[in-house]
Amino acid sequence: MTKLKYFLVFLTLIITVNAMDIFNFFRKSENTETQDTIGSHLKKVNPSKTNWKEKTDEYWKESMTPLQYNVTRHEGTERAFSGKYWDEKRPGVYHCSGCGHELFKSDTKFKSGTGWPSFYDVVTKENITLKTDKRFGMTRTEASCARCGAHLGHVFEDGPKPTGLRYCINSVSLVHSEDIETKAE
C-alpha cells in the first residue's frame, strides 16, 4: 500500500512538472548560429502568394528549427536572453518567421529588461491576432500572426507611452528585415 502511495505521488509529480512546462524550459534554448537559419524556408516561396493557413504540421516541422517549431506552432517560450533579437538595435522591420508577414517596426522596440524583444506597437493591428490565454493559472493575452497563426508571445499593459502596451515576443518568431530573403516573382 505504501509503495502504491509513493508511486501515485511520484506519478502526480511527473504530470505536474510536465504540465508546468519545466522540462521544456530547460530544453528551449538554441544558439544564435542555429537561429540564423530561421526564415530560410521563405527563400523558396513568394510569401504574399502562399496560402499559409493550409500548411501542415509536417511542413512547419521540416521548415523550422526545433525551438522555432516548438514556440510558433506549440505556444512555447524561448529562454530569456537566449534569442537573437532581445538586444537587437538595427533599424528595420520584424517579420513573422513563419510566413514573412510584417509585424513590428524597430522604432517601436524598447528596452524592457525582460530578455525578450519588446515593442509598444504593431505595424498594423490587422496583422496580429489577440486572444485570451489561461494556461499555467494565469490570464494573459496571446499574440499570434494573423496570416499563418504562428504564436508570437504575449501582450501586457505595462508598456511605455504612447500605447502603454508591451508586446513581449519570442526572437524565434521573428526575422529582422536585413536577415530575411524571400522569393519575389
Work out the burial of residue 141: count CB atoms within 10 Å of its CB; fewer than 13 is exposed, 13-18 middle, 19 or more buried: middle
Residues binding Fe ion: number (CB under 5 A): 8
> How distant is the alpha carbon of residue 117 from its chain centre?
10
Alpha-carbon distance of 169 to 185, in angstroms, equals 30
Shortest distance, position 166 Cβ to Fe ion, whole Å: 21
Q: Is 99 in the site for Fe ion (CB under 5 A)?
A: yes
Q: Is 150 in the site for Fe ion (CB under 5 A)?
A: yes
Nearer to Fe ion, 82 or 144 (CB): 144
Alpha helices (H) along 121-182: none
Which of 148, 152, 174, 180 contacts Fe ion by CB under 5 A? 148
Alpha-carbon distance of 132 to 138, in angstroms, equals 10
Q: How far apart are the first and last CA of the chain?
A: 70
Beta strands in the chain (DSSP E): 93-96, 102-105, 109-110, 118-119, 128-133, 140-145, 151-156, 166-169, 174-176
Active site residues: 168
Shortest distance, position 150 Cβ to Fe ion, whole Å: 4
Shortest distance, position 87 Cβ to Fe ion, whole Å: 23
Shortest distance, position 134 Cβ to Fe ion, whole Å: 23
Task: For residue 5, give the H/E element and its range.
Answer: helix 2-19
Which of 28, 84, 109, 147 contacts Fe ion by CB under 5 A? 147
* Contact window for Fe ion (CB under 5 A) among 31-39, 81-89, 148-156, 159-167: 148-156
C-alpha radius of gyration, the chain, whole number? 18
Which of 98, 117, 153, 159 contacts Fe ion by CB under 5 A? 98
The residue with cell 502526480 is 12
Q: Is 153 in the site for Fe ion (CB under 5 A)?
A: no
Which of 71, 96, 152, 165 contacts Fe ion by CB under 5 A? 96
Nearer to Fe ion, 150 or 165 (CB): 150
Q: Is 128 in the site for Fe ion (CB under 5 A)?
A: no
Applying CB under 5 A, the residues found at the interface with Fe ion are 96, 98-99, 101, 145, 147-148, 150
